[in-house]
Chains A and B, each alone.
Chain A
Amino acid sequence: MTALTSPVAKPPRSARTRQRRLSSQAVWSLSLVTLVIAAFIFYNQILPNLADSVAGPVSRWAPITAINECLIYVIMALGLNVVVGYAGLLDLGYVAFWAIGSYVGAYLMSDFIFQLKDGIHIGSSTTVRTLPGIHLSFWAVLAIGAAVCALFGILIGFPTLRLRGDYLAIVTLGFGEIIPQFFTNGDRIGGLNLTNGTRGITPVDPINTGYLSNILGLPRTVGLSPASLPYKFLFFSVLAAICVFVSLRIRGGRLGRSWLAIREDELAANMMGVPLVKAKLSAYAVGAIFGGLGGVAYAEHVGGALADSFKYSNSIFVLIMVVLGGMGNVWGVITGAFVLAWINNTGLQEFGNTFNGWFGTHVEIPSYNFLIFGTLLVLMMLFRREGLLPERRTQQILREPARTEMESVGSDVEAGQASEGDEEPEQSPEPARAAP
């Protein structure tokens, strides 16, 4: 596949570099696993026993709910990374999958569908077996939510197949507006209440731990109570880890490599025999699956599905995480998601409080979040387009003015000129444009 991108082509990877890359991944993974276990033990065992002088700041600056939310954002960002970072399809409506996932979770784990008088109870955490509605096991709902989202991913992806770049972005944005609006207004469609409107569907059943509770000594149900939050953290971490694993493995495989090829040059990829339709739809499907997992987890996190929480700005927020962290690089995306979600959730608030405490001011720092994120986005695009932890491959591509010019102009003539310009070691963009 490296042969596809001739200007970027490297000599075949030697055994040593392959080994080095593997070990760097292993180091990343192992350290993250250690971190998760350490954090779990800290929040579950140590924090409750600490003195207030230590526990106070910790639970203000890094409460476990914030960490849980960060993990959900990590899952989302990894999903968007598949679509935007791997396949290069700009998706501005990712919140749609989030919403669908959440609502699937809410439908299948609450008594919202009360028409079923005795309810359907399969492995759920509810103790009363006669509650109305559908109550499935959280773990089954995860799979169902992922499957439903994959279906919607393909449905949404289908009309966008022929579109490129901006048009694609706009169509996805359209779906990202339509689907949440459906959930918002869905309480009076032809006299039917399909989604309960802005009131949302609450509460959802807590997570059932099933056999794990016997083996590991976990509590039977993990819901919204403070004591069960560390366990939720553990479960969300496992979910995120699965997403990381899938992201990493799929990238090196046949599908992942064809995504990268499409991202770098769709036409060339097609000529080399990459099935565009299949590859693009799978990118949407995989991205949507992650979104579905995150959505179901989010329903657990907030205890329901609330239509108001799925806004356009959330799509953009996840996109910022991906871009900031480094499109295409899993570790970068994780870092970006975690840091930004934390800043948005608690960091900014706490920083504002500290700032006001120090200087005796009353600046509402959190209300500047859009300004801060917008400025960050613009500055990153101007000065470090490849993100904080860039993917090595992207970095190489971005260093080539002629090639990017070809992509940005896109017409036949320019393509010919640009390939001539390849030989010239152009550095500044201005002469590069006029070079041929």
Chain B
Amino acid sequence: MTSLVASFSKGRTIRLSEVVERTAAGILVLGVLAWVILNLAKAPTQFFTVLLAGLNNGALFALIALGYTLVYGIIELINFAHGDLFMLGTILCANMMANWLGLTKPGLTGFLGLILTMIVVMIFGATVNMGAEFFAYRRLRNAPKLAPLITAVGLSFIFQNIGQRVNGSSPKQWGTVFDPQSGFSVAGVRIRWSFLVVLTVTALLLLGLTYIVQRTRQGKAMRATAQDQDGARLMGVNVNATISFTFALGGAMAGAAAVLYMETIGTTRFEAGFQLGLIAFTAAVLGGIGNLVGAVIGGLLIGVIQGLNDGAPYGLGQDWSQTVVFSILILVLVFKPEGLLGRRTTEKV
């Protein structure tokens, strides 16, 4: 029925507007490209420095975006609390590294501690996300879409308040095991070790996640559940367990992102989750929500665009970075709701 109506209206009215749309989208993309090249020509060194910073942030956005995309892919819920889960992760990481393990200086023990902390925070993220699913979202699976969405907003408020209680209302600075200065220079562009670590960990996690989703039995169950819950159930898939597992994966990604963020930036803020979460969600939408590789590409792209906007010669500056990101979000949703790598379906449009 839906597809019938869609094709019907397409044949009748969409034609001209589609042409206009394509042209407008093309002009937009060309404009962005021209802007990037202009920046590159104006100050190459600055451009590459900013680019690297953007990629660094982009990798973090990508990790958070993976959590959004996994959850959205399987139950079509925008998990508003995901960003705040990430924020709780940063606070846990900071406290664990600095207060419990006492690791605030670079060194080998620092890195071993970092690995331990990452495992703990990932387990924490997975547990909290699974808990949220178990206590709240699971009961609302048959409810109108508004209900789980509002529940997610409520959970995000709760997480924020917990973060505020633990971390205090103002940002906190922490020592980190990454030395912000250490690194090497290539043609005047400083490359920090932390940047390489972040990129490597992101790549490894993405590979692992892709393996789980594409190659394992559990991954097959996830894909089946995403396609058709009832069908999957009939085929013997434990739908509840699969959805729980998906939330756990997403939470673990948020935990990993939290550790990397905390160790590269060294600041914890209780409102950080909301902002970063929205940016990450934009990344997920840009890449095609429900698509793992898309989320990573989207994250890196958003990171680069934001970095260029904040630091490049022709950028609008940090004050406008939210506006730029949200404008991208709106433009993507208007022109290409399925994202860069997503497939067009009647439901989403």
Contacts and interface: CB of A to CB of B under 8 A. Distances in A.
B142 A167 contact: no
Contact of B349 (A162, A182, A385, A429): A162
B14 to A, nearest CB: 10
A323 B150 contact: yes
A375 interface: yes
A368 B2 CA distance: 46
A429 B228 CA distance: 17
A280 to B, nearest CB: 15
Contacts of B1: 267, 412, 415
B337 A319 contact: no
B144 to A, nearest CB: 5
B215 interface: no
A322 to B, nearest CB: 10
Interface string B140-159: 11111111111101111111
A170 B333 contact: yes
Contact of A177 (B77, B145, B158, B322): B322
Contacts of A171: 329-330, 333-334
Contacts of A382: 136, 139-140, 151
Interface stretch (B113-121, B160-168, B177-185): B160-168
Contacts of A238: none
Interface string A370-384: 110111111001100
A169 B78 contact: yes
B333 A163 contact: yes
Contacts of B144: 398, 404, 407-408
A173 interface: yes
A378 B230 contact: no
A26 to B, nearest CB: 31
Contacts of A182: 323
A340 to B, nearest CB: 13
B235 interface: no
B78 A414 contact: no
A143 to B, nearest CB: 29
A177 B157 contact: no
A377 B330 contact: no
B5 interface: yes
Contacts of B52: none
Contacts of A164: 348
B274 A170 contact: no
Given A374-B156, A433-B230, A408 B141 contact: yes
B9 to A, nearest CB: 9
Contacts, number: 158
B145 A374 contact: no
B281 interface: yes
B285 interface: yes
B154 A170 contact: no
Contacts of B35: none
Interface in B198-221: none
A191 to B, nearest CB: 14
A332 B88 CA distance: 35
Given A181-B320, A185-B319, A407 B145 contact: yes
A378 B142 contact: no
Interface string A383-402: 00100000000000010010
Among A404, A407, A408, A411, chain B packs the most CB atoms within 10 A around the CB of: A408
Interface string B226-241: 0011100100000000
B333 A411 contact: no
Interface in A49-105: 84, 88, 90
Nearest to A185: B319
A167 B150 contact: no
A391 B157 CA distance: 26
Contacts of A184: 319
Given A170-B78, A181-B322, A404-B144, A376 B154 contact: yes
A90 B5 contact: no
A405 interface: yes
Given A170-B329, A370-B158, A178 B143 contact: no
B89 to A, nearest CB: 18
Contact of A404 (B143, B162, B281): B143
Contacts of B322: 177-178, 181
A166 B145 contact: yes
A166 B154 CA distance: 16
Contact of A178 (B150, B153, B323, B334): B323
A175 B149 CA distance: 18
A159 interface: yes
A7 interface: no
A260 to B, nearest CB: 14
A425 interface: no
Contacts of A404: 142-144
B326 interface: yes
A323 B152 CA distance: 14
Contacts of A381: 136, 140, 143, 147-148, 150-151, 154
A166 B162 CA distance: 26
B333 A377 contact: no
B3 interface: yes
Interface string B1-33: 111010000000000000000000000000000
Contacts of B77: 166
B173 interface: no
A116 B64 CA distance: 50
A279 interface: no
A434 interface: yes
A166 B140 contact: no
Given A165-B145, A370-B157, 8 more contacts: A162-B349, A166-B78, A175-B330, A312-B274, A377-B154, A382-B140, A398-B143, A433-B230
30 contacts: A84-B146, A162-B334, A162-B349, A164-B348, A166-B78, A169-B78, A174-B330, A177-B278, A177-B323, A177-B326, A178-B322, A178-B323, A178-B326, A181-B319, A181-B323, A185-B320, A270-B5, A316-B157, A369-B161, A373-B157, A374-B160, A374-B161, A381-B147, A398-B143, A404-B142, A408-B141, A410-B347, A414-B230, A417-B230, A433-B229
Interface of B: 1-3, 5, 72, 76-78, 136, 139-151, 153-162, 164-165, 228-230, 233, 274, 278, 281, 285, 319-320, 322-323, 326-327, 329-330, 333-334, 337, 347-349
The 4 closest A-B pairs by CB, nearest first: A374-B157, A377-B154, A174-B326, A371-B161
